[in-house]
Chains A and B, each alone.
Chain A
Amino acid sequence: DSGVTQTPKHLITATGQRVTLRCSPRSGDLSVYWYQQSLDQGLQFLIQYYNGEERAKGNILERFSAQQFPDLHSELNLSSLELGDSALYFCASSPQVNANIQYFGAGTRLSVL
């Protein structure tokens, strides 16, 4: 068990809808990372937060947004969902902003029908 908790495990929704994915990092970790994993694209880095502030952005669509709350949990919001957004979404955490080791949660599988 990595200590990173993601909810829900599975999410089924329709095109055009909006969903929120939640992540609780390991105790004491200040950095949270969000990734999208699809079969043909591997692990795509979306965004990083450190102690409540956005620190790095990757290939995150404008329809997607994230935030990290004072208790350090994070949420990834996906809106105007499209079929192509169906994927596994992982959250990872690390103790510091510059950290080589990331601890991953078990992921949220999103299916957009």
Chain B
Amino acid sequence: QQQVKQSPQSLIVQKGGISIINCAYENTAFDYFPWYQQFPGKGPALLIAIRPDVSEKKEGRFTISFNKSAKQFSLHIMDSQPGDSATYFCAASRPGNNRKLIWGLGTSLAVNP
């Protein structure tokens, strides 16, 4: 059972467009929601993260939107660039349980020049 459901599986966006990746979760105990970015041949790296006490967090062109009531959060990449082409993973963790990260299955993003 996938505790964090991520969509879409793949995404193609034109340069300058907005990329949107969505994640949904069931466990209301989750209180930390990171996004990781993985380039081919590399390991995932933390991109941006949010806690449920805020509805939005922005870092440069990357924004997380969080909807606590809907148990959903999304990553928005504004002005998408070919260099953003990567696989993006959402994840969630809760207090205790060693804060094990529960991962989405990933979204492969391709930004066409």
What residue of chain B has the Cβ atom nearest to residue A48's Cβ?
A: B98
Central interface residue in A2, A45, A98, A100, by most chain B CB within 10 Å? A100
Q: How far is the CB of A43 from chain B (nearest CB, A)?
A: 5
- Verify if A25 is at the interface (C-beta below 8 Å from B): no
Contact B103 A2 (CB under 8 A): no
Query: Which chain B residues lie closer than 8 Å to A107 at the CB level?
Result: 42-43
Q: How far is the CB of A32 from chain B (nearest CB, A)?
A: 12
Query: Which chain A residues lie closer than 8 Å to B44 at the CB level?
Result: 43, 90, 104
Contact with A along B36-53 (1 / 0, CB 8 A): 000001111110010000
Contact A106 B101 (CB under 8 A): no
Contact B32 A42 (CB under 8 A): no
Contact B103 A42 (CB under 8 A): yes
Contact with B along A22-39 (1 / 0, CB 8 A): 000000000000000000
Q: How far is the CB of B34 from chain A (nearest CB, A)?
A: 7
Contact B106 A42 (CB under 8 A): yes
Contact A104 B93 (CB under 8 A): no
Contact with B along A80-113 (1 / 0, CB 8 A): 0000000000101000011111111111000000
- Using A42-B104, A43-B89 as known contacts, say yes or no to A90 and B43 having CB atoms under 8 A apart: yes
Contact B49 A48 (CB under 8 A): no
- A107–B95 CA distance with the chains assembled, in angstroms: 28
Q: How far is the CB of A9 from chain B (nearest CB, A)?
A: 9
Contact B45 A2 (CB under 8 A): yes
Within 8 A of A (CB), among B16-66: 32, 34, 41-46, 49
Contact A100 B41 (CB under 8 A): no
- Using A42-B89, A42-B106, A100-B32 as known contacts, say yes or no to A56 and B97 having CB atoms under 8 A apart: yes
The 5 closest A-B pairs by CB, nearest first: A104-B43, A42-B105, A98-B99, A43-B103, A56-B98
Besides the known contacts A2-B43, A58-B100, 18 further A-B residue pairs in the complex with CB atoms under 8 A apart: A4-B43, A41-B105, A42-B89, A42-B103, A43-B44, A43-B106, A45-B101, A48-B98, A56-B97, A56-B98, A92-B43, A98-B99, A100-B32, A100-B34, A100-B93, A100-B99, A102-B101, A105-B43
